Structure 1
């Protein structure tokens, strides 16, 4: 849960709510991202980083600075024969375009060290403390930034990634979703439906050991689930998943889109991933009862 509440002016209607930031980054969000990263990875640095030990500082954080300087900003390592002002990182960050600031965030989370904090904890904290309060259009799922704007949807996908039923397919879908260039939205949908299909096979096998679901499609598995009354939920839910599978089977898996080179929209791909994740989580919970 976010540590912030809406401001007085927003609650009273004097200022409109912040729109979801998909194709941009506000100054507030940019500053909050940098402050979070600075406090986690650089805050104990002195004014300069270099070979002169009189500057002092934290060894882990000095190494973080040098790694960021050379590997992310691609600046010369030779400058450390003298010293580099630590404020230069902030200057260079501020010069980045909005999407490159997300690259910076991912780089720091994945490559820099802290004395105690785990990556998973950092990702959860920046989701709740920075990205969600600023209505950023991206959240960390595991250690990848993906375009998921709802905390409920984020939890649904994250839970599906931790199950044994179809997790591999959901991981592939999330990795594809995390791409910012050459993202294949059809592949996201395909992996999502295959993840739900795997979960349904496990569910049917567990509920009726006389059936062999190994060669069944999701549509066929849902039909078995409905006809054999294997779920207590209203049939409308299973029916919606069956229709979703039918669309995907015709349009995506078999290449029957109006234009075979056409891809479904990102919003549609996210909706399919969320729906399949929710269905998988439901089947998993039913087996656990």
Structure 2
């Protein structure tokens, strides 16, 4: 793991791959294609001709429907055809790679479930902001969410505790070797606690106390105040709610990402409200 990834010095946008694809992700997706599709190649009577391969129709479909070039240009030998596809794959734009993954998936039969599972394992491991669902690449992370995280990291530059917790939450979520979703959630929640304590100069302050303190100089709508308190109540230690949340055995990327985005927006709002009192 690179230093910048380990210690959280990369932005949310670069930690979670959206509108981009690094070498590890591209290589790993190709390995899924290789193991599920190309390695299944069988030749009629051991012949190496493309027309004698069980992959012949799939390869012709690639030329006819995806590349949209004449099928009489399909290479004579299977190995050459696969190499031609490989050449495209490693030169293509990131979105073209995803187009091709969708296309291949749509053409598969009994091997489709294994292909989807293999691709999703790669997408999760390499922190891609997408998943393959029913042969469609579906975003699970939006630009707005990433901007909320990055904005909160910027807004908390004067609140070292909250900033450190948010940075750590992103680091734990973005660890491509061993992501720690449970502790990422914990760090996200701790960022809310930390800014509440900073705003009240009270190391044991609750969010309710922080909101009352902020409201004295920068009034907020009662409904918004209640909604913020409710969110914090869901994540706080009160009545063992946080304990129950963190004891869940199936916490995953989506859970941790939601808590990071929600708490980042929460912290950013509080920081902005506290620094911009209204007359």
Q: Which has the higher helix share?
A: 2
Higher RCO structure, 1 or 2 (CA under 8 Å, sep 6+): 2
TM-score, normalised by the number of residues in structure 2: 0.44
TM-score, normalised by the number of residues in structure 1: 0.43
Please say which structure displays the higher CA radius of gyration: 2
